Chains A and B, each alone.
Chain A
Amino acid sequence: MDFVEGKFELREIQKLEGHTDRVWGLAWNPSNPSMLASCSGDKTVRIWERKPNQKTWQCKAVLEETHTRTVRSCAWSPSGKLLAGSSFDATTSIWEHVGDDMECVATLEGHENEVKSVSWNSSGSLLATCGRDKSVWIWEVQPGNEFECASVLQGHTQDVKMVQWHPCMDVLVSVSYDNSIKVWVEEDNGADDWHCVQTLGESSGGHSSTVWALSFNNAGDRMVTCSDDLCVKIWDTGNDPTQSSSDGLTPWKHLCTLSGYHDRTIFSVHWSREGVIASGAADDAIRLFVENSSDLVGGQSFVMFLKKEKAHEMDVNSVQWNPKDVRMLASASDDGTIKIWELAEVS
């Protein structure tokens, strides 16, 4: 299927209302594509679910009284059994399904102040968090819902906005207010020593202002990042990130920059399983990009094939494709709402 401008539209399926402050983050449950978690400045996480044979999503649970400040980010474990939420109150919570409810089973403490992002690795054995204290923490998931800090990674010079694991390798990427992207791997000595193997900064084709988010494609050989510099950047992540210094070449490389599309900060990017990149920005719009297949000149280029103006009444903070239903997109906004969209052919 070719994604060509004018042939597709984003059709609003439902608007989910309930949060009483801006919605910061979204996470689809990987094992249940009808379940979505959202987190907000109202200090809560909400679980939304579409029951079988029903058309609409409903709020199934409000996880409140766990956090005392904004919940900035949420993420399901790969099994879909555990949900992690990171908060400005300096803690990260883990909730587990207990019958029809969700119960807080662990609280991860260690960051000095605001925790801004949380991510599970592909096997669910590790968790990463990051925050305003400029550090990235790696936690080992142990039996009985115990979480032990395995490593505290220092290297960023300003607050760290987001962490995200590679989809198949234990390689962690962090992005920061210091404008850089860092790639972290565990040393081979089995001593839980993690170190930074590459820093992608402005001199390596990177961003010139705060990097807000990143996402990998399905295969993990491409990464997309977005920034306050109004650019979306695509990176070649096909090489082993640890094979760096021998030939002097950097393993992960800048491929191309998508500029001139956004005119306010881009807060979120997400790569769908069928290769569509969605971006959400402070101009209230959602944009969709695909690789330009007609470009025979070599090198890689991406084109925007859809722009949904006024997707929300205020900034779009998060865009997330459904892991199973590849044409379904969720978006979250400062306007306090979440929208479910379908990418459909214009009829």
Chain B
Amino acid sequence: MTLGLINANPVVHAKKERIARVEDSHADDAVDPLEIYDSVRDIRDPEHPYSLEQLSVLSEESITVDEKLGRILITFTPTIQHCSMATVIGLCLRAKLMRCFPPHYKVDIYVSPGSHANEESVNKQLNDKERVAAALENPNLRQLVDECLYSNEL
């Protein structure tokens, strides 16, 4: 890679303790925010050998679920204001949720308010499903996303 890292020295936090989630009693396909958190916390950052949780890009508070309307909202915080990897992180989150949760859930993904210089354009791009579909068909981006989702280098 000829380009320098976007954020060469990120602050790394400890991983939170894993809590064995108790299987809840509802038998339907209800989705729990913590269950979603467990599935996305270990996604690797696109440019560092650390997880999104370790870089505080995500926390348990990042995810809310409206069970009645069938909606999942994820708000993440890029490590720096000009993070050009923000859209890749968003793609990773989308790809992961597509695989792990019932497809009829409506997923909205945003960067947390004030956390990115191009907040509006990043949010718009991440929630345009046509652009997301096109991006995930792009072999280079697909590979980058898959590496973040399946990396065992953490």
A residues with CB within 8 A of B? 22, 41, 69-70, 72, 88, 113-114, 116, 132, 159, 161, 177, 209-210, 228, 264, 282-284, 313-315, 334-335
Contacts and interface: CB of A to CB of B under 8 A. Distances in A.
Interface in B114-154: 124, 128-131, 133-134, 137
Contacts of A41: 133
Nearest to A264: B106
Secondary structure class of chain A's binding surface, majority of residues = loop
B26 interface: no
B128 A177 contact: yes
9 contacts: A22-B133, A70-B134, A88-B133, A113-B134, A132-B134, A159-B131, A209-B124, A210-B128, A228-B128
B104 interface: yes
Contact of B134 (A114, A209, A210, A264): A114
B137 A70 contact: yes
Given A114-B134, A177-B124, A315-B129, 7 more contacts: A70-B133, A88-B133, A132-B134, A210-B124, A282-B106, A282-B129, A334-B129
A132 B129 CA distance: 14
B130 A161 contact: yes
Nearest to A88: B134
A159 B104 CA distance: 27
B128 to A, nearest CB: 6
Interface residues of B, number: 11
B113 interface: no
A116 B137 contact: no
Contacts of A116: 130
A113 to B, nearest CB: 8
Given A69-B137, A88-B137, A313 B130 contact: no
A72 B106 contact: no
Nearest to A314: B104
Interface in B76-114: 103-104, 106
Contacts of A334: 103, 129
A176 to B, nearest CB: 12
A72 B130 contact: yes
A313 to B, nearest CB: 5
Nearest to A310: B104
A259 B124 CA distance: 20
Given A177-B128, A210-B128, A314 B103 contact: yes
The 5 closest A-B pairs by CB, nearest first: A114-B134, A69-B137, A88-B134, A313-B104, A314-B104
A116 B128 CA distance: 13
A313 B134 CA distance: 22
A314 B106 CA distance: 9
Nearest to A131: B134
B136 to A, nearest CB: 10
B27 to A, nearest CB: 20
Contacts of B129: 282, 315, 334
A307 to B, nearest CB: 16
A227 B60 CA distance: 33
A1 to B, nearest CB: 35
